[in-house]
A and B are shown apart, each in its own frame.
Chain A
Amino acid sequence: GNSVTQMEGPVTLSEEAFLTINCTYTATGYPSLFWYVQYPGEGLQLLLKATKADDKGSNKGFEATYRKETTSFHLEKGSVQVSDSAVYFCALSDRTGGFKTIFGAGTRLFVKA
């Protein structure tokens, strides 16, 4: 079945550091890929998405490129801020899974001032 694997957290960075959170997936079809973010005390919200191979999703300085050859969708940001401290979830949805969204375990990011 479909699955998503994320790097384990927590990830702790200093402000202005470069961020990478790894995400790889297993899917029998051609999934759409998502990154959701959960800020403290809130629900998840969509950060970015990509619907086909080589697409790049971007939002708020974050970006991720859909790599079919490596089945990956790594999240990157060039310069993190304290306000980026949150839990980040990689997710996928595809036709063979009935378009049910499968979430990864989440990666907690702490950014220190």
Chain B
Amino acid sequence: DSGVTQTPKHLITATGQRVTLRCSPRSGDLSVYWYQQSLDQGLQFLIQYYNGEERAKGNILERFSAQQFPDLHSELNLSSLELGDSALYFCASSVGGGGAPDTQYFGPGTRLTVL
């Protein structure tokens, strides 16, 4: 158990809908990262938040957004969903915010299926 929790575990929805994925980092970790894992694209970094502020952006679509709240939990919002958004979405956390190499601790993931 990494100490990172993600909800829900599974999500099935229809094209055009909007969903919210939730992540709670390990106690004491200030950074939260979001990744998308699909069979054809591998593990894609989406975005990082550190202590409530956006720190780094990866291949995140404009239809996707994220935020980190004062209690450090984070939410990833996916809107206007398309079939191609079906994937595993992982959240990871780490102590630091990018000032040094950091081990990331991954949650169990949310499997999103768009029908």
Measured CB to CB, the closest approach of chain A to B105, in angstroms, equals 8
- CB distance B108 to A100 under 8 Å? no
Give the secondary structure class of B's interface. loop
For B42, the closest partner residue in chain A by CB is A105
Listed stretches B14-22, B64-72, B79-87, B95-103; interface member: B95-103
B residues near A20, Cβ cutoff 8 Å: none
List B residues 25-80 near A (Cβ within 8 Å). Answer: 33, 42-43, 45, 48, 56, 58
The one of B42, B56, B107 in contact with A98, judged by C-beta atoms closer than 8 angstroms, is B56
The one of B56, B99, B101, B106 in contact with A44, judged by C-beta atoms closer than 8 angstroms, is B106
The one of B4, B45, B48 in contact with A43, judged by C-beta atoms closer than 8 angstroms, is B4
- CB distance A46 to B43 under 8 Å? no
List A residues 56-113 near B (Cβ within 8 Å). Answer: 89, 93-94, 98-103, 105-106
The one of A31, A41, A42, A101 in contact with B104, judged by C-beta atoms closer than 8 angstroms, is A101
The complex places the Cα of A9 from the Cα of B82 at a distance, in Å, of: 29
Interface string of A30-51 (1 = CB under 8 A from B): 0110101000011111100101
- CB distance B45 to A100 under 8 Å? yes
Interface residues of A (CB under 8 A from B): 31-32, 34, 36, 41-46, 49, 51, 89, 93-94, 98-103, 105-106
Question: Can you list 22 contacts pairing A with B, beta carbon distance less than 8 Å?
Answer: A32-B101, A34-B103, A41-B108, A43-B90, A43-B109, A44-B43, A45-B105, A46-B104, A49-B101, A49-B103, A94-B101, A98-B98, A99-B98, A100-B45, A100-B56, A100-B58, A100-B98, A101-B45, A101-B104, A102-B45, A103-B45, A105-B42
